[in-house]
């Protein structure tokens, strides 16, 4: 695997290191040792898959609060999507910065999303399938999110939104929840 750290410390784009021959190619998509060597959490608590039937479908922006904060390894296995992550670590120099990465069936790249980041994506093609490896179990009482079109962040989605869940439509703005986000996403001071 080829690990490229983004401008958001701890968030990585992971490309395949393909071994190609006349049959096609072979590549490793996950290895605990390689993840640990890059300082990444290498535990998978759950693996999920999502089908997005219609181009323009948008999911996000989602996160879980500590102590149930999730890492995610996201890969598009059919179709294409634009994935956006936002740094919600109040102590981080990139707090509220974001990146966007196209994941598709051709590049087969993955995005490693650290704990205390928000995550969302938009399907760029019909019948897009996404696979997620989650580092924590889903805990409904720890989940939260904010609007995909939050004016504070200026996230650029490439297509008009065609489909969203009722829950995502009713998410509040980041400005409305930022006090809670800062408080609950802060690292507790460590004893000396």
DSSP string, 7-23: SSTT-EEEE---EEETT
Q: What is the mean pLDDT of residues 82-101?
A: 97
- Tell me the domains of the chain and their CATH numbers: 44-183 (2.60.120.10)
Q: Which residue in the list 65, 98, 119, 132 is annotated as catalytic? A: 132
Calpha distance 45→71 (Å, rounded)? 10
Mean pLDDT of the chain: 94
Instruction: Confirm whether 132 is a catalytic residue.
Output: yes
DSSP string, 111-122: EEE-TTEEEEEE
Kindly tell me if the per-residue pLDDT of 50 is higher than 90.
yes
- 89: which residues sit within 8 A by CB, 6+ positions away? 95, 116, 117, 185, 187
- 121: which residues sit within 8 A by CB, 6+ positions away? 58, 59, 60, 74, 81, 82, 83, 84, 103, 130
Place of tokens 């800062």: 182
The confidence band for 43, taking pLDDT boundaries of 50, 70 and 90, is confident
Q: Which pLDDT does position 28 carry in this prediction?
A: 87
Residue 148, classed as helix, strand or coil, is coil
Q: Which pLDDT does position 188 carry in this prediction?
A: 52
Q: What is the mean pLDDT of residues 171-188?
A: 91
Kindly tell me if the per-residue pLDDT of 40 is higher than 70.
yes
Q: Which residue in the list 62, 65, 98, 119 is annotated as catalytic? A: 62
Reported as a single tens digit per residue, the pLDDT across 145-173 is 999 999 999 999 999 999 999 999 999 99
Calpha distance 128→146 (Å, rounded)? 23
- 167: which residues sit within 8 A by CB, 6+ positions away? none
Instruction: Confirm whether 138 is a catalytic residue.
Output: no
Kindly tell me if the per-residue pLDDT of 141 is higher than 90.
yes
The confidence band for 192, taking pLDDT boundaries of 50, 70 and 90, is very low
């Amino acid at each position: 695997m080829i690990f490229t750290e983004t401008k958001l410390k701890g968030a990585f784009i992971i490309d395949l290191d393909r071994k190609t021959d006349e049959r096609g190619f072979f590549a490793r998509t996950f290895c605990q040792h390689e993840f640990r060597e890059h300082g990444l959490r290498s535990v998978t608590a759950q693996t999920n898959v999502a089908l997005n039937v219609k181009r323009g479908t948008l999911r996000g922006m989602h996160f879980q609060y500590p102590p149930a904060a999730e890492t995610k390894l996201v890969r598009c296995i059919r179709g294409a999507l634009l994935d956006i992550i936002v740094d919600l670590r109040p102590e981080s120099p990139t707090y509220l910065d974001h990146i966007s990465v196209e994941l598709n069936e051709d590049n087969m790249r993955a995005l490693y999303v650290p704990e205390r980041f928000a995550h969302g994506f938009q399907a760029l093609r019909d019948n897009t399938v996404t696979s997620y490896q989650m580092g924590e179990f889903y805990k409904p009482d720890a989940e939260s999110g904010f609007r995909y079109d939050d004016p504070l962040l200026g996230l650029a989605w490439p297509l008009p939104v065609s489909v969203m869940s009722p829950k995502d439509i009713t998410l509040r703005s980041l400005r409305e929840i930022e006090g809670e986000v800062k408080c609950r996403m802060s690292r507790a001071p460590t004893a000396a």
